[in-house]
A and B are shown apart, each in its own frame.
Chain A
């Protein structure tokens, strides 16, 4: 499976609202639209900040985007266990309850 060319979508419309003044894009009369990506290790949706300078982490084993939490965990334990694998193991009865890669010791 190759990395996606498409993204999830977050739409927040405050055009007829005073919005949330301290949040960029959420102010009075503003519309916030953003792509969202999902972490392949924990499936958290991540709102992609277009102004981010730091490199986003692509797991070298599953070749997919990982959130910052899972990126740190991978650098510590070196374990790549995609959420799909966790789901397969739970649904096949191989493990009794889900354990994500970031909760495992390398």
Chain B
């Protein structure tokens, strides 16, 4: 297993989007399973605010009940790669993206895991780690809802928020 870091720079999460509404491309980070039996553990979420004025962003890590279809390839300064240069390549690389031809929609199901990562993007910093890799927020499979998760802003956020973030994950 290899640990990857999915990094998105200078993202504007926007005013936020309600659950089960298509996310706006470029405002979210999505991690999607690439095989029916694939499991991906989220090992770290790090968000740093980069706004130049107060801007509260109600960022949320959640599963998606409509998964993204056809991810656009990441372009600089965004990235996705293994932490260890000696790491083995995945037979089915996890799909990551901030833009899909059909964007994902965050789950509204009250019995699905959802983690609020709210910060004021004017100087705020947030970091979360589980205590062990097998005790993390996890994707399972490649279908909705457990096959994809996304980090996106919920309704009521400030439109001027700008953040950079990374999500570390490990795929089994």
Contact = CB atoms under 8 A, between A and B. Distances in A.
B39 A45 contact: no
B124 A90 contact: no
Given A12-B126, A13-B124, A87 B111 contact: no
Contact of B56 (A20, A70, A98, A103): A20
Interface string A11-55: 111111111100100100000000010110011110000000000
Contacts, number: 115
Given A44-B115, A91-B39, A93-B37, A18 B120 contact: yes
Contact of A20 (B120, B131, B134, B146): B120
Contacts of A13: 124-126
Interface residues of B, number: 36
Interface string A44-79: 110000000000000000000000011001000000
A4 B136 CA distance: 13
Interface residues of A, number: 42
B140 A86 contact: yes
B113 to A, nearest CB: 3
Interface of A: 4, 6-20, 23, 26, 36, 38-39, 42-45, 69-70, 73, 83-84, 86-87, 90-93, 96-98, 100, 102-103
Interface of B: 36-37, 39, 49, 54, 56, 110-115, 118-120, 122-132, 134-138, 140-141, 143, 146, 172
